[in-house]
Amino acid sequence: MELSEHIKTANVEDVTLRRPFHPALRGTLCVTSHHLLFSDRKDEASWQLLILLKNIDAIEKRAVGSSGTITIKCKDLLVLQLEIPGMEECLNIASSIEALSSLESVTEMYPFFYRPSHLTLNGPWGLSSTEQYYKQTERLWDRWRVSTVNSDYSVCPSYPSAVIVPREVDDDKLIHSARFRQGGRFPVLSYCHHRNGMVIMRSSQPLTGANKKRCKEDELLLQAVIDGSELGYIIDLRSAQQAQQARMTGGGFESKSFYSHWKRIHRHHERGKVVQESLIKLVEACSDPSHSVDRWLSKLENSKWLSHVHSALSTAGLVVECVERDGHSVLVHGSEGTDNTLLVSSLAQLILDPASRTVTGFLCLLEREWIQAGHPFQQRCAHSAYSHARLKQECPIFLLLLDCVWQVWRQFPLALEFSEALLLRLAQEVYASNYGTFLCNSEQERCAAGVKENTHCLFQSLLRPDIEEQYLNPLYEPTDLAIWPSVHPQSLQLWTGLFLRWTEYAQNMEEAREEVWSIVKEHHEQAGPDRTNNTLSTHCDTLTSFENLMDELTIL
Amino acid sequence: MEHIRTPKVEQVKLLDRFSNKSVTGTLHLTATHLIFVESNSTSAQEIWILHHHIASVEKLSLTTSGCPLLIQCRNFRLVHFVIPRERDCHDIYSSLLRLLRPVSYDELYAFSYNPKQNDQEREEGWQLIDLAAEFERMGVPCDQWQLTDVNREYKVCKTYPRDLYVPITASKPIIVGSSKFRSKGRFPVLTYFYQEKKAAVCRCSQPLSGFSARCLEDEHMLQAISKANHNSRYIYVMDTRPKLNALANRAAGKGYENEDNYSNIRFQFVGIENIHVMRGSLQKLLEVVGTRSLSMTDYLVGLENSGWLRHIKAIMDAAIFLAKAVTVEGASVLVHCSDGWDRTAQVCALGSLLMDPYYRTIKGFMVLIEKDWISFGHKFADRCDQLDPDPKEVSPIFTQFLECVWQLTEQFPQAFEFSEWFLIQIHEHVHSCQFGNFLGNSQRQREDLQLKERTYSLWAHLLSEKQNYLNPLFSPSVAESHPVLEPSTQAYHFKFWRNMYNQYDRSMHPRQSILKHVLTLQESKRELEGTVQALKTKLQKFGVSTSPLKPQTPPRERSLPPRPHTGGERTVEGSSATENGYGELMGSFGSKNEPGVVTLEFGVARMTC
């Protein structure tokens, strides 16, 4: 079925658009295969609103006399109202939106049709690959190697074709280890710390089952990771009880007796549906203006969203503590190893590694730890906070990551090269995008769908100098140190920039942000590019030019 | 000094409130301060605790490592010492018990504090704030409002200032009659005049109406206030209490205005709770945010149960109602509660701050506090427990006002000349008794104490370090275009003020501050501009026009000076794992050295001695 067949009414005149904190507008509404377009009817400087249909999470129809009202709730949390004259048109538009906003087939999605004039499809896709990362990271060369055991995705369907593993472990052992891990996600390197060479590994749970199976190769693999040093830590993102229960369904945990050099620590993290429901509850609480303070606090608490932020940051802090302060390697896993595992390992890197705090570094981190590592974006981000559809595998873990990064930025506003704007952009792109970056669930699926050949890469486009500038943090001052965030509940805050994005409050904040920008810019212009000089040399320079002038005077 | 038996104890441990960390040092007890000096020479931190700041001292039962001493301060600091020998602990404990309960005003620190200023400087300090000039700024006296000398000798109302402004038509007999019908003689007087609409904000205490009593003079008085404003035919009477409280007061012969007896008033309850509820609420709040390993759930539930933010919102709502009535309707408003010195002060001051951009500047804010709080007799001595404590009188009324202002600075980041450190510093000194401004309960008492002759003014001190309190984002043009603030009262705007209530728990604070950074940038910019100017002047001396110089100055000539020691780099190091307590890896990290100490933000943890 052609997409256009879903469109029964393509154009409606005299539509009224209502947005929060803006006057109502009248204009023309168009539905295309991938967009909803509204343009007002003023002759000069006509204003347009273009919404990706994929961005629409839910719609509500209401009949008022002969006309209908459609409330559109977007995945980026914007809520719009359209008043459409004519009941039939209204219903047609609504059904088109419903059908076209929930396309299942990847190749029908907009990134496959997005062809801006300034971009070409040929050329490399993405920022880096496992091989390139390995080549650039000299500290890995000695003890680690790139394995292509998964080049045809048969060992682990959700892993990329190349992974980094201990040099002394051959591919054969990897295959055995993969059979012993859920989804074949055997332990691979996630990060090697630049200060002490200690590593963060990640995997899925071992399939020990009820009768405590073991896998020699898996044990050897982990033994090779710590390589003679006496201890490593396994951070299990489930409570000890949950890990025990997992054995009943074939899963399990690394037992002390078989992995004697690894110390296991359990940290309970919510996952899946629970986190998705948190998001739904939080957004609902944020969008009801009638709450009293008490009711608001109780709703905020009840959503548990901040509790998830709290546990994610605490566990990331714990991982960093093991690596940086204690000087030991860490293996992180939960059950599947595609959600909380990635959340914790990438947050830990942000805290530890100055390289991941630049715009490029951060995007590379996301590419490596989320896109290539096989976070199932398509399943997790199918719906956002407004959808009434029955939840399948939705879970806003990536949004949770962005929130945690924002919390770190709040506490270290000088340490990250990027600003909140980048996080907000990513929060939007992950649900609906012109680009192919967040399509599909794994590298394998992307290959099969031809994503790299037929879509543009978001990260590449964000790094174009004119675009990147919008996302820079004017206050950035790199630091080599680990940036330990405080995880006291008093130190964590609701991410107003995202959750209260469409309120008047956001406007005051925007103005204040601009003011910071202009102060810093003004200062940079005055101070010049070389910011390491101190006052003394400044004065010397000034004096030199003064002396030059005196010389000229004498000549005169 | 005779109360100090042990002036110095060594090997005292200071425990961190939220982690297992502790430092060892020496404890000194002086006539004014309790001082802890860390022994570690590299990062030796010093903690100075003014005796007046101490709210309570508690000796806990002996442990193996020594005798624990728990000290709670009014500025929300909580220190936990462990003193090796019980005898020393007991000596310190009993000395402190005596020292933190001064028996006469003369014992307060303000009377011994000497910032090395001469008499003239001190007098100038006291002259900084001139309330007569402030009323003049508002446009008073004018054709409708006049200065009355009825209270010159404090005969009509002991708790009011000498200079009071009343409607032209209110004669002395009316004033005196009205004052007899009002609690504590606090009759209706002008506190703010909104020139644009000639609308007045007046304040008073509750009428002694009981169930049926009335007073013609008082009715006349309100009539006079109403007549002084031609823009509106009615005045609002805001009773800031919950209706139930006002009703209960009637049984004691007090109460509220009966609309039938007063012509043209619109009566309104706004429901701010009394001092006892507020005291209990703060106590609950502090318990919650002082809990170790607090979970997010317990934090939010605790915040809700304390009711603190609900009370803050109630005050804000009242102030917004007041500001709207005055600026939009152009109506005059009379505000009262019971005695007219707590809720009334909160609402009048906050309302004026919403209406008048001047009060959002550093100087203007001082004037506002001086006017609505100090001169109109907010009982600082009782509320802040300065002397002869009656625990039932203590209440964080002024703190709530400061917090309301902070909530506004969060909503309007560009509207205030000062940053939150200014508010925090004021709070610090309201309790420090180091300066004369907040001593005593009324203007009259302050005169009896001869404060202006014997103590120094806080305002002069704060102005001398104005740089520390500036808000770099302040934009006077915003004030011009939006003179009246219209805050949103959506629940999510009311946030917990961590930098106040956890101000000494440094592990909670952001490690880097945008505010501070931008201030540093501005500072260095000013310096550079100064240098350029100085050089220009020099050049002019040689008779050279300065314009041709410009192309010669290389672009990198002006660059960033070294940042002051409060800069960001060090603070990053200071954030450390143990303070945050991510883990339960007991023992395994014990041997590692901690990196350097976090330097605190402006205004915090600095005592001026």
The residue from B487, B502, B517 where one domain ends is B502
Residues of chain B whose pLDDT is less than 70? 1-2, 41, 543-581, 583-609
One domain, residues A280 and A178? yes
* Cβ-based contacts of A520 with chain B (< 8 Å): 518, 521
How many domains does chain B divide into?
2
DSSP assignments along B512-540, one per residue: S-HHHHHHHHHHHHHHHHHHHHHHHHHHH
Query: Residue B31's domain spans which residues?
Result: 8-101
- Residue A505 and residue A453 share a domain: no
B274 known member of a binding site? yes
> What span, in angstroms and rounded, lies between the C-alpha atoms of B158 and B377?
9
Inter-residue contact A361 to A405 (CB < 8 Å): no
Residue B337 among known ligand-binding residues = yes
Please indicate, yes or no, if residue A537 is contained in any of the structural domains.
no
Task: Give the model's pLDDT for residue B126.
Answer: 93
Q: Are residues B84 and B173 in the same domain?
A: no
User: Looking at the 3D structure of chain A, how many domains does it have?
Assistant: 3
Q: What was the pLDDT predicted at B448?
A: 93
Helix H or strand E encompassing B464: helix B458-464
Angstrom distance (rounded) from CA A92 to CA A7: 7
Contacts of B569 (CB under 8 A, 6+ apart): A477, A479, B563
Question: Are residues A366 and A443 part of one domain?
Answer: yes
Whole-angstrom Cα distance, residue B368 to residue B225?
Answer: 22
Helix and strand totals (H; E) in chain B = 22, 14
- The answer on B83 and B132 residing in a single domain is no
Residue numbers in A near B514 (CB within 8 A): 413-414, 475, 516
Residue A274 with chain B: CB contacts under 8 Å: none
Gap from A371 CA to chain B (nearest CA, Å):
28
Same domain membership, residue A285 and residue A188: yes
Burial class (CB in 10 A: 0-12, 13-18, 19+), A172: exposed
- Give bridge partners of residue A25 from the DSSP assignment: A17
**Shared-domain flag, residues A192 and A243:** yes
Same-domain check for residues B88 and B194: no
Q: Are residues B207 and B307 in the same domain?
A: yes
Last residue of a domain, one of A103, A121, A154: A103
The last residue of one of the domains, among B460, B480, B502, is: B502
Do A286 and A342 share a structural domain? yes
Tell me the CA end-to-end span of chain B in Å, nearest whole number. Answer: 18
Is A526 in contact with B518 (Cβ distance < 8 A)? no
Distance between A11 CA and the closest CA of chain B, angstroms: 38
Q: Would you say residue A252 lies in a domain?
A: yes
Cβ-Cβ pairs closer than 8 A, A with B, add up to 261
Q: What is the pLDDT of residue B360?
A: 96
**Domain co-membership, A207 together with A148:** yes
This model's pTM is above 0.80: yes
* Domain-embedded: residue B538: no
Q: Which of residues 473-492 of A touch B (CB under 8 A)?
A: 475, 477, 479, 481, 483-492
B71/B172 same-domain check: no
Query: Cα B334 vs. chain centroid, distance in angstroms?
Result: 24
- Cβ atoms A118, A461 nearer than 8 A: no
Domain boundary among B454, B474, B502: B502
Looking up tokens 């020139």, which residue turns up? B195
Q: Do B559 and A508 touch (CB under 8 A)?
A: no
Residue B270 inside a domain? The answer is yes
* Nearest CB neighbour to A326, from listed B512, B549, B589: B589
Does A71 reside within a domain?
A: yes
Q: Is the Cβ pair A321, B585 closer than 8 Å?
A: yes
Write the residue in B491, B560, B585 that is nearest to A533 by C-beta: B560
- Tokens 């995008």 locate to A433
Burial degree of A118 (CB within 10 A; 0-12, 13-18, 19+): exposed
Return d(Cα B472, Cα B482) in angstroms, integer. 19
- Residue range(s) defining the domain that contains residue A282: 130-494
**Chain B residues within 8 A of A484 when measuring between CB atoms:** 511, 575-577, 579-580
What average pLDDT does chain B have? 85
- Assess whether B492 and B349 both reside in one domain: yes
In a domain, A238, yes or no: yes
Domain boundary among A494, A519, A550: A494
The SS3 assignment for B475 reads: coil
**CA–CA gap between residue A12 and residue A308 (Å, rounded):** 44
Q: Is residue A541 part of a domain?
A: no
Contact residues, chain B, for A533 at CB < 8 Å: 556, 559-560
Q: Is residue B535 part of a domain?
A: no
Residue B575 lies in a domain: no
The CATH number of whichever domain residue A93 belongs to comes to: 2.30.29.30
Residues of A in Cβ contact (< 8 Å) with B412? 508
Residue B473: which of A488, A490, A516 has the nearest Cβ? A516
CB-based contact A413 B297, cutoff 8 Å: no
Residues B131 and B244 in one domain: yes
B425 CA to chain A: closest CA distance, Å?
21
Chain B residues with CB inside 8 Å of A522's CB? 525
Residues in chain A closer than 8 A to B528 (CB atoms)? 526-527, 538
Q: Can you list the residues of chain A whose pLDDT is less than 70?
A: 1, 42-45, 504-506, 523-556
The response to whether B16 counts as a known ligand-binding position is no
Residue numbers of B annotated as active site: 337
- Among B411, B538, B575, beta carbon nearest to A505: B411
**Residue A497 sits at the chain B interface (C-beta within 8 Å):** no
- Is B341 known to sit in a ligand binding site? yes
**Can you say whether the dihedral through the CA atoms of A486, A491, A494, A498 is positive or negative?**
negative
Asked if residue B354 and residue B220 are part of one domain, the reply reads yes
CA distances from B109 to B100, B106, B370, B460 (A): 11, 8, 21, 17
Cα distance between residue A416 and residue B568, in whole Å:
13
Partner residue facing A526 (CB), from B304, B513, B525: B525
Q: Which residues are CB-contacts of B116 (< 8 A; sequence separation ≥ 6)?
A: none
Chain A residue with CA closest to B500: the answer is A490
* Close Cβ partners of A85 (under 8 Å, ≥ 6 residues apart): A12, A13, A14, A15, A66, A67
Residues B90 and B134 in one domain: no
Cα–Cα distance for residue pair B335/B316, rounded to 1 Å: 14
User: Quick check: B335 and B322 in contact, CB under 8 A?
Assistant: yes
Same domain, yes or no: A239 and A99: no
Contact B401, B315 (CB under 8 A): yes
Alpha carbons B242 and B225: distance in angstroms, whole number: 25
Same domain? For A14 and A97 the reply is yes
CA distance B119 to chain A (A): 38
Domain-located, residue A513: yes
A320 in B contact zone (CB under 8 Å):
yes
B389 and B468 part of one domain: yes
Interface of A with B in 243-272 (CB under 8 A): 265
* Nearest-Cα residue of chain A relative to residue B19: A488
Enumerate the β-bridge partners of residue B336.
B204, B239
Q: Is residue B522 included in any domain, yes or no?
A: no
| B498 interaction partners in chain A (CB closer than 8 Å) | 490-491
pLDDT given at position A536: 40
Q: Name which of B510, B558, B579 is nearest A411 (Cβ-Cβ).
A: B510
Pair (A141, A279) in one structural domain: yes
CA nearest to B497 within chain A: A490
Q: Which of B456, B517, B291, B316 is nearest to B400 (CA)?
A: B316
Kindly state whether residues A179 and A264 are assigned to the same domain. yes
Give, in order, the Cα–Cα distances in Å from A138 to each of A129, A142, A193, A360. 15, 8, 12, 19
Q: In what order do the strands lie in the sheet with A329-333?
A: A188-192, A199-202, A329-333, A232-236, A262-266
Residue A535 contacts B where some CB pair is shorter than 8 Å: yes
Q: Which pLDDT belongs to residue B7?
A: 86
Distance from CA of A503 to the nearest CA of B (A): 10
Check whether B35 is labelled as a binding-site residue.
no
Q: Which of A296, A412, A546 is facing B512, going by the closest CB pair?
A: A412
ipTM: 0.87
- B295 with B253, same domain: the answer is yes
Cα–Cα nearest to B163, from B146, B185, B139: B146
pLDDT in tens, B400-432: 999 999 999 998 988 999 999 999 999 999 999
User: Does residue A63 sit within a domain?
Assistant: yes
Task: Determine, for residues A527 and B558 on separate chains, whether the beta-carbon distance falls below 8 Å.
Answer: yes
CATH number of the domain where residue B14 is located: 2.30.29.30
**Chain A residues closer than 8 Å to B491 by CB:** 291-293, 295-297
**Which of A230, A268, A322, A414 to mutate: most B Cβ within 10 Å?**
A414
Residue A390 lies in a domain: yes
| pLDDT for residue B500 | 94
**B54 vs chain A: nearest CA distance in angstroms?**
24
Q: Does the CB of A295 have a partner CB in chain B at under 8 Å?
A: yes
Could you give the strand order of the β-sheet that contains B8-15, starting from the edge strand earlier in sequence?
B46-50, B33-38, B22-29, B8-15, B78-83, B67-73, B54-59
Domain identity same for B94 and B133: no
What one-letter code names the amino acid at A227? D
Minimal-distance CA residue of chain A relative to B537 = A546
Check CB contact of A548 with chain B, cutoff 8 Å.
yes
Which among B146, B150, B267, B271 has a CA at the least distance from the CA of B207? Answer: B267
| Contact between chains at B531 and A306 (C-beta distance less than 8 A) | no
Contacts with B, A 506-525, CB within 8 Å: 508-509, 511-512, 515-516, 519-520, 522-523
Task: For residue A117, give every residue at least 6 positions away whose Cβ sits within 8 Å of its Cβ, in sequence order, or none.
Answer: none
Contact A490 B496 (CB under 8 A): yes
Residues A518 and A480 in one domain: no
